[in-house]
Chain A
């Protein structure tokens, strides 16, 4: 037999206390072993779901198609790249405005990349470059906007499977601008976003496997630098110069070594 309160336990679990009277339910839970077991069970299933379910973002090509159809609908003369040009005056978050005037051009370039680029041979490089380019699309770069490492790092706890090194290196020219979770290599990778001059650098991090990381390489104009600290694999991706990318890598590596040493 099922306890008659089972439905109300679900509602209580979903934070719908005002619908059902949370106080009564809590008193009931103290007495009813069946319902407290149900509540625990609901918690376990939710935890498993959060780990298991995919949280997709809309593919950028589809987003572009939708923007074009909105253009046509609102009577904007539509040429193939017209919506790209309008990016220069579409409302957007401060970080995009903060970038140099080449923003529109960068986005145009990234679309050209999607249209023209052949599939890269190593799937990991493929995924990383694709994720980097995707992040340059409007509204895709940052989930948590902050220049404060103490805001960005805890944010990852609920949104990614790993907790990477985060620090603001503004004095060294690498300004922390935020973080993002990205699905990569079958896990929710943490991505820390830095700005260096007019360039953006995405630093991906994920739980390292036994496989060796690829060598640093350049794909379609984007440099990819790989390194490991402890059991975390990192990859910095950017169109900035190699030396500058490696500069950030050194800063982050030193940070990791320092932290491991101090604990």
Chain B
């Protein structure tokens, strides 16, 4: 599903202030996998996630997503990939404050060009999955942090993506609501989604099937975890 081959991301290349954010990594994630990426800040895990999410392009190397080489694509082609193949869950939710919950969830479908009726239906189903039916008309600011993160999960779901990318999804939440959000992510995984998520919480990382550790732009360990609950 995801294949990074010899990928580098270097800022200010050749200059005095050269930063090797990603210093030659190879990573392969199969469909249906649940991968946690861990590492201290500045280790390159976020940059790696941005490249996987087609939000950033590698300085060199190849990125194959769902069988397509996306590292050579132009902006608008990448936009289409983001829209159809990827679903994002951000630490800061990143909801549009002036749009209602339903409109927020509809956004990826809007840019896909779906007709209004279909958008509404699919957004409602996604909101139902995250348990927020009945709040469609609310603005994000009228919801709690946990609820907002559930809206952003619904938004990632609505587009029916192949891969869900979550960058510290519980980072801004208290442990109880964080727990709820993690349960939801587990549910998505059980429903067959490929999930890649970043965390610095070792307990959360332990919930994944596989843990990839980053340090100084390189992958230092890649271990398969076996959990009794995970069958």
Q: Do A and B come from one complex?
A: no
Give residues in A with beta carbon < 8 Å to B.
none
